[in-house]
Amino acid sequence: MEFTSLYRRYRPGCFADMKGQGHVVAALQNAVKQDRVFHAYLLSGPRGTGKTTAARILAKALNCEQIQDGEPCCKCDSCLSIDKGISFDLHELDAASNNKVDDIRDLLSKVALGTPGRTKVYLLDEVHMLTSGAENALLKTLEEPPDHVIFVMATTEPHKVVETIRSRSQHLELNLLSAEQLRELLEEITQDAGLEVGDEGLIQAIREAKGSARDALSALDKIVAGGSSVQGSFIDDLLDGIAASDSKKLLKVINEAIGTGKEPRLVGENLLSSLREAFLFSMGVPLEGLTDEEKEKINKFSKQVTPALITRSLEILGLSLVDMRRSPDPRVDLEVALVKISSNQTSSDSSTLDSLESRVTLLEETIRDLKLTNSTREKKGNSQAVSDQTEELGKKTLEAESLQNNLGNNESELSKSVSKVDVEKKGIPTKQQFVDSWGEELLPKLSKKARARFSAGRPVSVDDNGVTIALPNEPHLRRCSELLGELETAIKNTFGVLVPVLLAVDDQSLSSLSPPNPVKPPTPVNNDEDLDLSDLVEADPNSGSAVERLSQAFPGAEIVESE
């Protein structure tokens, strides 16, 4: 006898055999019983949940010769031909490989043709793969098909199906099965098929199925053929390594898993799935599709780590899985990701906790102050509270002014102390050092204004009081005194020590500068009595004028009076 895989051998043949899809079964079976079958259905759900199976059972029920209570008999010629895939009443089209306009047009050209049964059913699998042109070609017939034609479309990605198709069909969603439903299904099949599978094998098949009935049967076939997989053990070891921040253990487990034939990407995906389950469990979300043993392991891991660590692990591992698609060696990306997860745990957690503690403390103090303020206002009344706040504000203002004055005095003293300490520690540069660096280092560091004023000066002496800069005259000295701070800063940046700058005229040192006293106008002298008018001589009006200078420049020229 030819071997047949379990998922094909035990494919449901009637609505009663479908597990975990009661809402879909009720909708289709009641439609058949009440003769209210819609002209188009859209079945969506994850892989292995029974979309194609439900469509075939519907086709059997619509053409069964001995239908009872909406259920096909599975014994008549029509039911048997559909089971064997040779019926003219069921036409299946894989839209993933037949998605062009010509494929749909060829299908639609035969829609009106009759078939042996009462209803012709068209099953379009993966309908979201149709091209835009094929979708448009299908729309009209899908909206108003012949009376004997029913369209059933199946897809794993209903969001990719265009709205025009969804609006012309009844949408039924199939769900993943729970762990209890999968266990019940596997136990029935192992007993009927006479398979010897222990509890560990069933748990392994349920874990690999992730809610899919077809995947559960495929996993059961694998376990029967080659024994239980070690996937669960290495995932548990990886979770233990993450909880203990043990990079060495993580790398060792990865090496052993890959050594047994596991793909790095598959290992990463399985670990990512377990981390997701742990994250949901830590957030209080009920987990579906897990056995009691798996829930216990997830609970243990969640108590050993923080939700922040799980979240960071999901992010790092998710990015590494994306990088594996383009990596020449995916194993390296997985190993680096696990090292990052284990090495960053301590520092990140401590910094996060410190930040949270400081924020909580600040919030608690703010809340306490607000409560005290509100309590005071309630006792004293609004007017008294305002008065108290005004008085308190006045006190705070006086304190602020006092602090500002003290700060100014302290800054002055501090500046002197710093200058003195700098001088004592590093020493004042010599006169020759100032002369050598004056034009090449000091002046270029000044602003254009300061450079223009101090370029006329030169260092003439250096002593304990500072460096003396000689300037040509008193007015120039006063102008340079306005920019003393800039020159002192340039000296500190050049020599690394703060040196006071003294200004002098003709080598006379001026330790301090003060604005000059206003000069009193001379007292007028009354000499009118001694003045002899006969001694006065009338001044030449052209003397010193432009006319006189022109006359001197051009000898022999005559001055012509204007008329």
* Torsion angle, alpha carbons of 509, 512, 516, 517, to 10: -120
The predicted-structure confidence for 550-563, as pLDDT tens digits, reads as follows 666 666 666 665 44
Residues 112 and 155 in one domain: yes
Domain-located, residue 214: no
* Tokens 């050209």, located at residue: 109
Domain-located, residue 110: yes
Residues 339 and 356 in one domain: no
Counting Cβ atoms within 10 Å, is residue 354 exposed (0-12), middle (13-18) or buried (19+)? exposed
Domain-located, residue 206: no
Q: Both tokens of residue 457?
A: 């000066």
Closest CA to 317 of 299, 290, 300, 341: 341
Domain-located, residue 59: yes
Using CA atoms, how far apart are residues 292 and 546, in angstroms rounded to an integer?
A: 118
**Domain enclosing residue 376, as ranges:** 346-401
- Is residue 139 within 8 Å of 168, Cβ to Cβ? yes
Residues 82 and 11 in one domain: yes
Say how far residue 490 (Cα) sits from the centre of its chain.
46
The predicted-structure confidence for 145-198, as pLDDT tens digits, reads as follows 888 999 999 999 999 999 999 999 999 999 998 888 888 999 999 988 888 888
The predicted-structure confidence for 86-111, as pLDDT tens digits, reads as follows 999 999 988 888 888 888 888 888 88
Counting Cβ atoms within 10 Å, is residue 423 exposed (0-12), middle (13-18) or buried (19+)? middle
Task: Confirm whether pTM is higher than 0.85.
Answer: no
- State the total domains in the chain: 4
Residues 371 and 447 in one domain: no
CATH code at 312? 1.20.272.10
The predicted-structure confidence for 485-542, as pLDDT tens digits, reads as follows 889 888 888 888 888 999 998 654 443 344 444 444 444 444 444 445 554 545 555 5
Residues 305 and 360 in one domain: no
Q: What is the CA radius of gyration of the chain?
A: 49
Beta bridge partners of 463: 466
Residue 185: CB partners within 8 Å, gap ≥ 6? Answer: 19, 177, 213, 216
Residues 111 and 250 in one domain: no
Residues 10 and 137 in one domain: yes
Number of helices (H), then strands (E), belonging to the chain: the values are: 22, 9
Show the CA angle centred on residue 74, arms to residues 73 and 78, nearest 5°: 100
